[in-house]
Structure 1
Amino acid sequence: MKVSLITPVYNDPRIERCLKSIHEQEGKFELEHVIVDSNSTDQTVEILDAHRDDIDILIREDDDGVYDAMNKGVRAATGDIIGILNSDDRYQNQTVLESVHRTMKETESRACYGDLVYVGEDDSVVRYWEGGEYEPWKFYLGWMPPHPTFFVHRSVYEEIGYFNQQLSIAADYEFMLRALALHDISVSYINDVLVRMEIGGQSNESVASMVEAVSDMYEAWQYHGKMGRFVAPFLHPLEKVPQYFRKPPKDDV
């Protein structure tokens, strides 16, 4: 099975580290990297040009936000398994994609996810997001898998649709809610850290962003007429608290 990775970017030179992380991946699978650049105007342009041979599909055009860029990337991808890695994120080690490929092949799951660590500018671990085994009721208590570790078969997008661009911050949450809780697609949990994410992120940057994220999550539940909207969005911030105290395995620090 071919693995396609989508990376949306706009004016973020850190994409060079992301590119290195992706193209150091080892394993017996075909890899495709799709980058959607929203017409960057800084050093990002030179970095992408310098690594052009490593980029299978490069889309350079204006878009209507990060989820529009992700949707463009997913539609352009030709792989069987699709994952999304943002320009400021990177994989934990060189065997992450092999682990994903093997898990989805052996279990015949249509999705998989793993753990994630947040790191500071010095690359030290600040938070450890342990995905844990999936249970449908967890969504009602504010749980969600770490989206950068979430991989799905391309047929899932074709069947249930793409990212909801009406949601400015939590469209990734809504997509996973739709896929797992509403459409009950088969999913496997990989009990390993898959991604290192630099502190920040669109829904983590400020109190205002956190409030907007909760509002988007409420709207995500409302789209589907589910009662979880009265509980899950407001419990979600509490889900983050243990991440500051939980310690990752020593090999993943």
Structure 2
Amino acid sequence: MIDLSIVIPAYNDPRLDECLKSIDIEVEIIVVLNGATKQVEDIAKKHNTTIVHLPTPNLAKAYNEGIKSSNKNNVLLMDSDCIFRKGCIDKLYNMLYEHPLAKGRVLFAYQSYTEKIIATSRHIHTAKKNAYSPPLAFRKNIVDQIDGYYFDEQIYWTEDYDFDARVRRADLSIGYVDSAQVIHPALTLLGDLKSSYNYGRGQARGVQSKKDWYSPPSKLLKSMIKSWTPLKNRFGTGVAVYLSLWQIAFFMGFKKERKETERGVKKSGSTNTTV
């Protein structure tokens, strides 16, 4: 068994079974039942895994609890709906001899034209040397260089963005292995735009936390106009149109979270007022 734990948060997706079957090397496997359904829990129990229970879904907390339960010096974070391509785990693990972090590539499956547009759009965001997961491996001892914690449990939906920002501030090198690949199932239009909306909400939470690397999104129309031509020229009109919709969803999520936060502050203020 290599010195690596694979941490997989699982909620309600039965594709966890295929994910676990795709692990092609002997490692410690930790499945964090992140408010999971009984079906998903039964799948985790079928495999040789360490199971951690969380009653309420919180991806950042699931990562933290999974890492805390690890008996190895290195961890690899994986999504329950993705599968490893052959050799991916070993390649990322070997990269940790040279770098404190190792990042692989996500390949988004598609069949229809719309799914291809979404896959291409996601590729633009994910095919970079960053500390987003999945697949992301790192030495656990980096925690001392990134403010003493792995993931901020108060920042929903953008916990990996915050993690990446602290990694970069600490000037930790990330080894990128393009051939270390995982397959993500095809994304639906509404599902992916909902993700963008939630990322916007997470951005608002980050701004509220007053972390330097979070800032309000720029003016929506100005941002869309600025990105339109380069996106159209490089990836085609379909991708440019879709990423404009993606920006709108992100902006709406940000505005929604800010309004809810302001409403909560006002309500708290009125509750605490004495006459």
What's the offset of the Cα at 1:110?
Answer: 0.5
**Residues 49 and 209 from structure 1, CA distance in 2 versus in 1: closer, same or farther, beyond 3 angstroms?**
closer
Find out whether 1:214 has 2:207 as its counterpart: no
What's the offset of the Cα at 1:114?
Answer: 2.2
- Please tell me whether the aligned partners of residues 105 and 180 of structure 2 are also in contact (alpha carbons under 8 angstroms): yes
Instruction: Select 1:47's aligned residue among 5, 23, 43.
Output: 43
2:177 alignment counterpart: 190
Instruction: Select 1:66's aligned residue among 38, 50, 59.
Output: 59
What's the offset of the Cα at 1:191?
Answer: 2.4
1:36-77 Cα distance to aligned partner (Å, 9 max, x none): 1135333223322222xx21x211341352222121101111
1:140 alignment counterpart: none
| Structure with the higher fraction of residues in strand conformation | 1
Instruction: Select 2:79's aligned residue among 86, 89, 95.
Output: 86
Letter paired with 2:176 = Y
Give the Cα separation in 2 of the matches to 1:219 and 1:165.
11
- Please tell me whether the aligned partners of residues 83 and 150 of structure 1 are also in contact (alpha carbons under 8 angstroms): yes
**Residues 46 and 98 from structure 1, CA distance in 2 versus in 1: closer, same or farther, beyond 3 angstroms?**
same
Give the Cα separation in 2 of the matches to 1:113 and 1:58.
25
1:77 alignment counterpart: 70
- Please tell me whether the aligned partners of residues 21 and 90 of structure 1 are also in contact (alpha carbons under 8 angstroms): yes
2:249 alignment counterpart: none
**Residues 200 and 168 from structure 1, CA distance in 2 versus in 1: closer, same or farther, beyond 3 angstroms?**
farther
- Please tell me whether the aligned partners of residues 11 and 44 of structure 1 are also in contact (alpha carbons under 8 angstroms): yes
- Please tell me whether the aligned partners of residues 219 and 229 of structure 1 are also in contact (alpha carbons under 8 angstroms): no
Instruction: Select 2:101's aligned residue among 96, 106, 111.
Output: 111
Instruction: Select 1:97's aligned residue among 71, 79, 89.
Output: 89
Residue-pair matches, total: 219
What's the offset of the Cα at 1:240?
Answer: 9.3
- Largest Rg, 1 or 2: 2
- Please tell me whether the aligned partners of residues 91 and 180 of structure 2 are also in contact (alpha carbons under 8 angstroms): no
1:165-196 Cα distance to aligned partner (Å, 9 max, x none): 222211112111211x2111121111225111
Letter paired with 2:171 = D
1:206-249 Cα distance to aligned partner (Å, 9 max, x none): 53441331342365466432486556x979x9899878999xxx
Give the Cα separation in 1 of the matches to 2:53 and 2:216.
37
Q: How does 1:125-140 map to 2 (within 5 A)?
A: 126=116, 127=119, 129=123, 134=129
What's the offset of the Cα at 1:20?
Answer: 0.2
Letter paired with 2:88 = V
- Please tell me whether the aligned partners of residues 110 and 186 of structure 1 are also in contact (alpha carbons under 8 angstroms): yes
Q: How does 1:19-34 map to 2 (within 5 A)?
A: 19-22=20-23, 25-26=24-25, 31-34=27-30
Letter paired with 1:169 = W
2:267 alignment counterpart: none
Give SS of 1:184's match: coil
Find out whether 1:166 has 2:162 as its counterpart: no
**Residues 215 and 230 from structure 1, CA distance in 2 versus in 1: closer, same or farther, beyond 3 angstroms?**
same
Letter paired with 2:36 = S
**Residues 223 and 67 from structure 1, CA distance in 2 versus in 1: closer, same or farther, beyond 3 angstroms?**
same
Give SS of 2:191's match: coil
2:136 alignment counterpart: 150
**Residues 145 and 192 from structure 1, CA distance in 2 versus in 1: closer, same or farther, beyond 3 angstroms?**
farther
- Please tell me whether the aligned partners of residues 132 and 164 of structure 2 are also in contact (alpha carbons under 8 angstroms): no
Give SS of 1:147's match: coil
Letter paired with 1:71 = N
Which 5+ residue runs of structure 2 have no aligned equivalent? 240-275
- Please tell me whether the aligned partners of residues 13 and 80 of structure 2 are also in contact (alpha carbons under 8 angstroms): yes
Give the Cα separation in 2 of the matches to 1:121 and 1:63.
34
**Residues 96 and 243 from structure 1, CA distance in 2 versus in 1: closer, same or farther, beyond 3 angstroms?**
farther
